[in-house]
Structure 1
Amino acid sequence: MASIEIYTSPTCGYCHAAKRLLDAKGAGYAETDVSRDADQKQAMVQRSGRRTVPQIFIDGRHVGGYDDLAALDRAGKLDALLG
């Protein structure tokens, strides 16, 4: 299985949608809540170049946010990334 990291905040609907999609795929992930941790948020921005959540990394590769994750799934490419 792939190593998945997801940066989130508890009030983000797109974060919940991304986690539901990953859960439906049976993919485990490490979640980092950036809502109350400025250092973690800065780390996310440095890694992704983006300030919004969620930001998702699969095996260290930035795949983007929920829309990007869903697009990979619709294109049939997500399962291969998840291993």
Structure 2
Amino acid sequence: MPLHQELDKKLSKIYEPSTRVDDVFKGYDITFLTNKEGEPVTLFFGKRRPDGTISGERYTRVIKRKPNSMEVLSSHWDNQGKIMNR
């Protein structure tokens, strides 16, 4: 299942490089990690537990770049499955 259009738009922005961002989207807790370019590359989506971890779904982003360039040709998010923390 593809990401919600508004969430995909939010994750298309550039953030601080190599950081973790905790946020809320339409009543769900989200956390995403950025790469050294500041692009979100790992997303945790679900319900945040008291220790800060999320129980729900994990997504990873595949980014295809123009050869010998940092220009993004395309990107998409792959669902890596359920994550359940005890």
TM range (shorter): under 0.3
Larger Rg: 2
The TM-score with structure 1 as length reference comes to 0.23
Question: Of Structure 1 and Structure 2, which has the larger fraction of its residues in strand?
Answer: 2
Q: Per chain length, whose mean CA-contact separation is higher, i.e. which structure has more relative contact order (CA < 8 Å, sep 6+)?
A: 1
The TM-score with structure 2 as length reference comes to 0.23
Question: Of Structure 1 and Structure 2, which has the larger fraction of its residues in helix?
Answer: 1
